[in-house]
A and B are shown apart, each in its own frame.
Chain A
Amino acid sequence: MRKICLLLIFILTIILMIGCWDFKQIDNYYILTGLSIDKGEDNELIVSTRISAPITGLQTSNTFTTEGRVISRKGTTILNALQKMSNELKKEIFLGHLQVIIISKEIAKTDVANIVDSLSRNPNIQRKLYIIVCQEEAKKVMEAVNPLDVAPIPDLVNMFDINKTNNFIPITLDEFIFKYKSSGYDALLPIAKVSNQIIEVNGMAIFHNNSYIGELNGEESRVLSLLIYPKFTTEYYTLSQKDTKNTSDFVTVKIDNKSSKIKVNLKDNRIETKLYIKLYAQITEYSNTKENQDVQQLYNIVSKQLEERLKIELESLIKKSKEYNTDILGIGKYVRAKYQDYWDTINWEDKYSNTKFSTDINVIIRSSSSTKLIAN
C-alpha cells in the first residue's frame, strides 16, 4: 500500500512538473527602470519610459546605453497605458526593477492618490523606488540625456542614492505612502527641472489632503533636511565675514555631522514645539588670515553667525508651513505619541497653525581643517 501511495504521489508530482505556469524567462520581458507620468487631454495619463536599444552582438553587450528610445502611450490608468505599450512592443513589461517615477505637476495636483494606490498594490514593485515631481512635462526628464551620462535613469537614481546636494530630500515610495496615509504628517516630494538636457533637482513639493499645494525652495529644503532627514551629507555654508570692514571677505564652514531633536509640550491646550539642531563644523575657507587672531573668538563669532542664519531660515520655513497649514515637520506624530488623549479630541489641521515654535540651534566648530588660522 505504501509503495502504491508513493508511486501515485510520484506520478502526480511529475504531472504537476509539466505545467510550468510561472516559467517566464527573463529575456521575454522589457525591464523598465523608470516611468514618467503626464496629464494628457480628456483626463488621460501619458506614461513614458526609456527602453534601451536592443543589442545584437554579444561581445559588445554594453547594457546601459544612452541610445535608448523614449516611448509613451496614453491610458486611463498607468496599468492600462503599460498594457498598450507591451502590446506594441511585442514583449511583456516587467515593473519589478522600477527605480524611479517622475510625475508632472498637474498629476501631483490631481491624481496622486490613484497612482500611489496602483503602485503600492502591485507586489512586484519595490517600495523603495524614488518619486520625483517635475516642474514641466515629466517626459522631458525621461528624454534628457546628458552627454556625460552612461545610463540616464540609473544615473538619476544614483544621484538620489548618494544625495550630495541637500537641496532636496530623496523620498521613496514607502516614505511617501507612510506620510501620505497617516495623520499628523504631511508628505513631500523633490522637484526636478530640466534645462538644456540637464536634470536639476531643487526644492520640495508639499502635499496636503491628497494634492500638491505648494513648494519649498532649495534653501528651505536644506534646513528641513537638517531636521527630518536621518542621513547626513556634507554641507558647506559660506558666510560673509563681519569682523572686518571689507565685505568681500568670507568664511566657509563645512558641516561634518549633525544631530537634531524635536520635542513637544502641551501647555494651556496649546502645543509648544522645540526644535533642537546641533551641528559639528570646521572652517574650510577663510579669506582674511591675519596675525594675532584669537582663534577661539573667531570660532565663536562664526558659529554665532551661522546659528543666526540658520535660525532665520528655519523661521521662514516654519512661517511657510503655517501659511500652507501643512505639518511638514511631522509635529503631529510627536503629539500623538506623547499626548494620545489630547490627540484623540482635536483636529490637528485646525490646531497646527496655532502651534508655538521655538528653536535651539547650536553650532560647534571643531577645527580649521588642516591649516592654522594664524598667520605667522
Chain B
Amino acid sequence: MKDRKINIYQYRAILITATIGIGLITLPRALANKVSTASWLAMTLGTVILIVISFLILRLLNYFPNNNIYEISQTILGKYLSIIITLIFISYYTLVTSSTVRFTTDAINVWMLPLTPMSAIIFILLIVSSYVCLKGTETLGRFCTAFLFFNILSVLLVLFFTFTKVKPYNIQPYFHTTFVELLKGTKESLLSLLGIETFFVFHKFINNEQDVASSTYKSIIFIGILYVLLVEATIGYFGVDQIKTLVFPVISLFKTIEVRYFIFERIELFFLTLWLAAAFTTICIYYYCGFYLLKVLLPKKVSHAILPIYFAITFYLSRLPQNIDETFKLLNYTGNLGILICLIITVLLLSIGKIRGVFR
C-alpha cells in the first residue's frame, strides 16, 4: 500500500486540472473556425468520444491495477517493445509540456510582460514544475486539488461576465454544418479535452479503485458541460465573425468587459493570473508524467541526475517555435499525437493482450 498515495478526490482533481489549460483561452476560436455556430455540437460529440476513449483506457488499466504503462506493456509485449512504447509516451508528455509552456509564454509575452525575454518566462515556468518533480506524486495530487478551485473559477468567471450579454442571433443557427466540418470540429474539441492519457502514469497510485470509472466519467462530463457553456458564451458574446480574428478570444473578452467602480477596473489581468494557475497545473502534471516514466525506464543510479537533462530538453523544445503560428502548429501536432496514442496504443495493447491471454 506504500504507493497508494492519491485518493479519489485528488485523482479527479488531476484529471480536471490536466484538461483545463490552454483550451480555456483558444477553444472558442478553434471551434468557430471549423464549425462556426454548431460548436456546441462538436464539443458534445468530442465529450462523448472522449468517454469512449477513457472507457477503453480504463478497461486496459483495470487489468493491471498496480502497474504503470511501462510495466503493462512489458507484460503484454515484452521488454524491447515496451521500452519503445514508453519512449513514445515520454516524448508525447514532453511535447505537451513544452508546447503548453510555449503557449503560456506567448500569452504572457503579449499581455503581461512584453519586454521580458521568452527564455526567462519559460525558465520560471519549468522551475516551478521541476520543484513538483522533486517532491513527488503525493505533492502533485495535493497541488492539483488545491488549485482545482482556481481552474474552475477561471471558467466560471467567463460565464459569469458573459451570461447576460449573450446575443441569441450570435449562436444561431444551431445545426448549420456539414459532416466533414463537424468531424474537424470534433477533433478540435478533443484536442482541448485531452488529459485522460495521464492515467497511464497515475492509475497505480489511486487508493480507491472501485470509484475510478464513475468519477472519471463524471469529471469528463463536468468538463464537457463547462466547455460547451464556455464556447457558447464566448461565441454568443463576440459573434463568429469577430472571434475568428482574435488570437486569444477569451482574454479579449475580458478586455471588453466593463467593471466600473471596482478596485480593479481591468479584470483581464486578474483573469490571466487565474488562468496561469490552470496552465501551471497542466504543465506540472505532464512534466511530472514524463519525468516519472523516464525515472522508471532508467536504472536507479542514473535517475537522480535525469531532472536537469529533462529540464534542458523541455526548455529547448519550448524555444523551438519561431512565432505564435508555429506554436499553434506544435500544439495541434501534439494534440493529434495524443489522440493517436490514446486510441491506437490502447487498442493495440488490449487486443494483443486478449490474443495472448495475458488478462485473467
Residues of A within 8 A of B (CB): 1-2, 5-6, 8-9, 12-13, 16, 19, 21-22, 24, 96, 123, 126-128, 161, 172, 174, 177-178, 181-183, 333-334, 336-338, 340-341
Identify the closest chain A residue to B134 (Cβ).
A2
Which label, helix, strand, loop or mixed, suits the secondary structure of the A interface? helix
Stretch at the interface among B75-83, B155-163, B238-246, B288-296: B238-246
The distance in angstroms between the C-alpha atoms of A22 and B127, with both chains bound, is 20
In the docked arrangement, what's the CA distance between A325 and B352, Å?
68
User: Given contacts A2-B134, A9-B127, A161-B260, is CB(A123)–CB(B111) below 8 Å?
Assistant: yes
Residues A1 and B304 in contact in the complex (CB < 8 Å), given A22-B115, A336-B169, A338-B173:
yes
Are B304's CB and A2's CB within 8 A?
Answer: yes
Q: Could you tell me if B245 and A181 are in contact, using CB atoms closer than 8 angstroms?
A: yes
CA distance A174 to B268 in the complex (A): 15
In the complex the two chains form, is B120's CB within 8 Å of A16's CB? Answer: yes
Complex contacts, B238 vs chain A, CB 8 Å: 178
- Counting from the closest, the 6 A-B pairs by CB-CB distance are A337-B172, A182-B241, A337-B169, A174-B256, A21-B116, A340-B176
User: Taking the nearest CB of chain B, how far is it from the CB of A239, in angstroms?
Assistant: 33
**Cβ–Cβ contact B308 & A127, under 8 A:** no
Closest residue of B by beta carbon distance from A230: B165
Chain A contacts for B305, CB-based, 8 A: 1
A341 to B307, CA, bound (A): 57
Interface residues of B (CB under 8 A from A): 37, 110-117, 120, 123-124, 127, 130, 134, 168-170, 172-173, 176, 238-239, 241-242, 245, 252, 255-258, 260, 266, 304-305, 307-308
Per the bound structure, the CA–CA distance linking A333 and B134 in Å amounts to 55
Distance A336 CA – B173 CA, assembled complex (angstroms): 8
Whether A334 touches B241, Cβ cut-off 8 Å, given contacts A16-B124, A22-B116, A126-B266, is no
Contact in complex: B111, A337 (CB < 8 Å): no
Asked whether, in the complex, the Cβ of A338 is within 8 Å of the Cβ of B172, the reply is: yes
- Nearest CB of chain A from residue B167's CB, rounded to whole Å: 8
Give bound CA distance, A274 to B266, whole Å: 39
Closest to B246 in A: A120
Complex CA–CA separation, A6 to B134 (angstroms):
10
Other A-B contacts than A1-B304, A22-B116, A128-B258, 11 sampled, CB-CB below 8 A, are: A9-B130, A19-B120, A21-B117, A21-B120, A96-B266, A123-B110, A127-B252, A128-B256, A182-B241, A333-B239, A337-B168
CB distance from B311 to the nearest CB of A (A): 9
Q: For A9, what are the chain B residues with a Cβ–Cβ distance below 8 Å? A: 127, 130
With the chains together, A2 CA to B131 CA distance in Å?
11
| Cβ-closest chain A residue relative to B172 | A337
Closest chain B residue, CB of each to CB of A16: B120
**Least distance between A101 CB and chain B CB atoms (Å):** 15
Pair A183/B127 contact, Cβ less than 8 Å: no
- Provided the pairs A127-B256, A172-B256, A340-B173 are in contact, do residues A12 and B123 lie with their beta carbons within 8 angstroms? yes
